[in-house]
């Protein structure tokens, strides 16, 4: 199984945030947000929880396991 995400979709649903705006809210770089959205980087538990909290959704609405 691999970690997949709906980060871009949730970012748009949460007020059409840019990658930079979201990065500023969770205190990381825009490049980190971009890498997460492209599934090239797995966020720490802390960052994943911050993303969910800032966007007002459950963690499972952003991140999920997918069969390879």
- Taking the CA of residue 3 as centre, how many other CA atoms within 13 Å lie in the half-sphere pointing to its CB? 17
Q: What is the pLDDT of residue 58?
A: 97
Q: What is the pLDDT of residue 55?
A: 96
Q: What is the pLDDT of residue 40?
A: 96
Whether the CB-CB separation of 7 and 35 falls below 8 Å is answered with no
**Residue-by-residue pLDDT tens, the chain, 68 positions:** 999 999 999 999 999 999 999 999 999 999 999 999 999 999 999 999 999 999 999 999 999 999 98
Domain hosting 40: range is 2-66
Q: What is the pLDDT of residue 68?
A: 81
Number of domains in the chain: 1
Beta carbons within 8 Å of 16's beta carbon, 6+ residues apart: none
Q: What is the pLDDT of residue 44?
A: 97
Could you give the residue ranges of the DSSP H alpha helices within the chain?
A: 7-13, 19-26, 30-37, 45-55
Say which CATH number the domain at 43 has: 1.10.260.40
Whether the CB-CB separation of 51 and 25 falls below 8 Å is answered with no
């Amino acid at each position: 199984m691999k970690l997949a995400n709906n980060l871009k979709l949730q970012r748009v649903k949460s007020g059409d945030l840019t990658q930079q705006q979201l990065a500023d809210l969770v205190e990381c770089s825009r490049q980190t947000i971009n890498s997460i959205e492209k599934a090239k980087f797995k966020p720490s538990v802390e960052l994943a929880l911050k993303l969910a909290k800032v966007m007002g959704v459950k963690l499972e609405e952003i991140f999920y396991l997918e069969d390879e």
